[in-house]
Amino acid sequence: MTTLVEVQDISKSFGAVNAVDGVSLEIDQGQFFSLLGPSGCGKTTLLRLIAGFERPSSGHLLIDNKPMDGVEPNLRPTNMVFQNYAIFPHLNVEQNVAYGLRKKSISKIEKEEMINQVLELVGLSELNLRSANALSGGQKQRVALARALILKPKVLLLDEPLSALDKKLREQMQLELRHLQRAVGITFILVTHDQEEALTMSDKVAVMFDGKVEQVASPRELYERPTSQRVASFIGAMNFINGTVMEAKNEIGINSDILGPLTISRSQVFGDLTENKIIIGIRPERISIVSDGSSVTGSISGRITDASYFGETTYYKVACGKGSETLTVSAQNSFGQMDYQIGEEVKLNVDIKSLVGFSD
Amino acid sequence: MSRSTKYLKIFAYTYLIFLYAPALLLPLFSFNASQIIAFPLSGFTTNWFENLLYQETLHEALKNSLIVAVSSSILGTILGVLASRAATRYDFTGKQISLTFILAPLVLPEIIVGVALLIVLIQLGLPLNLWSVVLGHTLLILPFSILIMNSAFSNLDISLEEASMDLGENQFGTFYRVILPLVFPGIMASLLIGFTLSLDEFIIAFFLTGTETTLPVYIWAQFRFPKKLPTTMALGTVLLIVSLILLSLSEYFRRRAANSQNSVL
């Protein structure tokens, strides 16, 4: 695969604030790439830098191997879907979609064909003459997509395009966007603060904090092998347990109050182990609960202190170890799964292979 | 109804009568047969309106007024569009203070503006003619235009401009295809208000006009001839109606400007 977008050490400051701070990224041709982070982390600024609405304070941007220094947004091979869609209110659907075609030397018949095609692609064929003000949120979203896609950009930029939609429509649009991206084969760069959205839609995700990229990885890697505590707790939930490094070779021997002595592989540990302290991370669904009285013996004893019911899963808080440390454990409410009561004594089994260790 | 709301109501009606009764006398006496402006009315006539058709100096004044009103409303609106675009879209040092100075004629007594302009024009050695009146009226219209255009521009979503740029238009194309159509109702409102202001304006026109008089100055001159008073009343009636129509139109456009942009999102 070839690199299409190359962000080379780009920084952007507004006054004293460094919105984007020395970011480097490579985004492949045809990839669905997400910029994920909490609000104010600089992800939107980075997107606007790629679109050309902002100029970097330092660093360079290459799209398709061409430097974009000083290139105006209207001359870049990028198109954007805005957060509020920015549909032109004085034009109807067709006029909105055809907006960018004016300067192209294409015959009228060809233009009409292109408009029909793209409207069909986004599922708006029937509404071509409807006024922009009479569109629902989801329809505006589709017009914004059609308007950008008709120009066949090399990169489509999406700035939190689903945040204004209700939950059901949002989930539907996530699937549609993903299908659309595969169908047209255009590189998509999506900005989102919704980790679920990023995981379900993307080929690759860059997690940003405070203007810096913390980790770039596939959704699975990001979830299962987060390289820092911040990433781990931003994406899903994770238990953090203080531990002591007993032995650090190819295998790492760790001791902790809750888990007792155990050994994990070096590849499960991130950061340099300069001190003998380590923080062990474990996802709630990688711990299983067994009743104290059952025949299977768990490795850790604990007592349920809290239970939150979420329909398909229940989250339990389990107090264990000598101290007052608690672990969060999730249990699928599937066929045969037991219900545990608050105060009940239980045993926990931990999936050692899915543990991660952080040096700080 | 409580006592206090009853008194408030009486106050409101009295106020409205004092405000509009004099204006209603104008059409009343312009249809009155007698040359003397006094009650009781002596009979119905349309003679005074017919007279208007034969006053050549009146036609000349009307033509002058139209030239001044059209030119100054267009000039004032163009300047207003540029100034409020700058004020709503960009930040620069001295923005607030220059805006304050531009808006000052709104509260400055017109007689002061008139005298000041007269002195400046004479010092510069410029002739007093219709164009000096246009200049004065532009100064007067500009603050109104800026206030109207400010609200039109500040309602304009900046991402619409970015979207246009993103879709391949340059700055000029964006202005022509997105900004202009969206602030167009505001521009119409500004033109109509400017036209009405200029058409009615007396003091500045009186100071700055040379030999060519505008309509209000002509009307003022007519008061020297008591015989012509009813005809002047008829003229006043026509002006009143035209002004009302223009102001209603401009209010219509102003509201449309507000509405069309509120539904952007």
Average of per-residue pLDDT across A44-50: 95
CB contact under 8 A, A82 and B170: no
Closest Cβ opposite residue B162 in set A53, A78, A89: A53
Comparing CA positions, the residue from B170, B156, B134, B173 lying closest to residue B84 is B156
Q: How far apart are CA A100 and CA A78, in angstroms?
A: 12
- Which residues of chain B are within 8 Å of residue A151 when distances are taken between CB atoms? 167-168
Lowest mean pLDDT among A189-198, B53-62, B75-84, B163-172: B53-62
Q: Determine whether A220 is exposed, middle or buried from the number of CB atoms within 10 Å of its CB (0-12, 13-18, 19+).
A: exposed
CB contact under 8 A, B164 and A99: yes
pLDDT at A77: 93
**Residue carrying the six token digits 């200049």:** B135
**Residue carrying the six token digits 């809750």:** A258
Reading phi first (left if > 0) and then psi (alpha if -120 to 50, else beta), residue A104 is in beta
**Residue carrying the six token digits 């997509």:** A145
In DSSP terms, A287 is beta-bridged to A350
In the structure encoding, which two tokens stand for residue A228, read together? Answer: 């820092």
Query: How distant is the Cα of A100 from the closest Cα of chain B, in angstroms?
Result: 5
> What would the pLDDT profile of A266-299 be if each residue is shown by its tens digit?
888 888 777 788 899 999 999 888 776 555 555 7
- Which residues of chain A are within 8 Å of residue B160 when distances are taken between CB atoms? 86, 88-89
In the structure encoding, which two tokens stand for residue A312, read together? Answer: 């398909």
In the structure encoding, which two tokens stand for residue A27, read together? Answer: 């985004």
> What would the pLDDT profile of B36-58 be if each residue is shown by its tens digit?
777 777 777 777 787 778 788 88
**Per-residue confidence at B262, pLDDT binned at 50, 70, 90?**
very low
Does residue B155 contact residue B88 with C-beta atoms inside 8 Å?
A: no
Does residue A254 contact residue A273 with C-beta atoms inside 8 Å?
A: no
Lowest mean pLDDT among A340-344, B22-26, B34-38, B205-209: B34-38
Average of per-residue pLDDT across A134-157: 90
Mutation choice for B interface testing from A49, A71, A99 by most B CBs within 10 A: A99
Mutation choice for A interface testing from B167, B170, B179, B182 by most A CBs within 10 A: B167
In DSSP terms, A213 is beta-bridged to A208
Comparing CA positions, the residue from B154, B135, B143, B56 lying closest to residue B101 is B143
What amino acid is encoded at A100 in this protein?
G
Give me the residue spans of the domains in chain A. 3-229, 237-360
Chain A contact for B265 (CB, 8 A cutoff): yes
Q: How far apart are CA A268 and CA A251, in angstroms?
A: 10
Does residue A5 contact residue A52 with C-beta atoms inside 8 Å?
A: no
**Residue carrying the six token digits 């015989």:** B227
Q: How far apart are CA A178 and CA A201, in angstroms?
A: 6
| Predicted TM-score (pTM) of this structure | 0.80
**Per-residue confidence at B137, pLDDT binned at 50, 70, 90?**
very high
pLDDT mean across residues, chain B = 85
- Which residues of chain B are within 8 Å of residue A100 when distances are taken between CB atoms? 167-169
Query: How distant is the Cα of B77 from the closest Cα of chain A, in angstroms?
Result: 22
Chain A contact for B97 (CB, 8 A cutoff): no
pLDDT at B194: 93
Q: Is A90 helix (H, G, I), strand (E, B) or coil?
A: coil
CATH class of B55-262: mainly alpha
Q: At what angle do helices A167-184 and A108-121 cross, to 10 degrees?
A: 130
CATH code linked to domain A237-360 = 2.40.50.100
Closest Cβ opposite residue A73 in set B165, B181, B260: B165
Give me the residue spans of the domains in chain B. 55-262
Does residue A340 contact residue A211 with C-beta atoms inside 8 Å?
A: no
Query: Would you mind telling me the total number of residues written for chain B in this entry?
Result: 265
Matching fold, domains A3-229 and A237-360 = no
Q: How far apart are CA B103 and CA B93, in angstroms?
A: 17
Q: How far apart are CA A105 and CA A78, in angstroms?
A: 19
Q: Is B92 helix (H, G, I), strand (E, B) or coil?
A: coil
In sign, the C-alpha dihedral spanning A122, A126, A131, A136 is: negative
Q: How many CB pairs under 8 A join A and B?
A: 65
Q: Could you tell me if the ipTM is greater than 0.85?
A: no
First to last CA, chain B: 43
In the structure encoding, which two tokens stand for residue B81, read together? Answer: 């569009």
> What would the pLDDT profile of A181-216 be if each residue is shown by its tens digit?
998 899 999 999 999 899 999 999 999 999 999 999
Residue B72 carries which DSSP code?
Answer: H
Q: How far apart are CA B58 and CA B56, in angstroms?
A: 5
CB contact under 8 A, A86 and B177: no
| Stronger pLDDT, A337 or A153, i.e. the higher one | A153
Q: Which architecture, in CATH terms, is A3-229?
A: 3-Layer(aba) Sandwich (3.40)
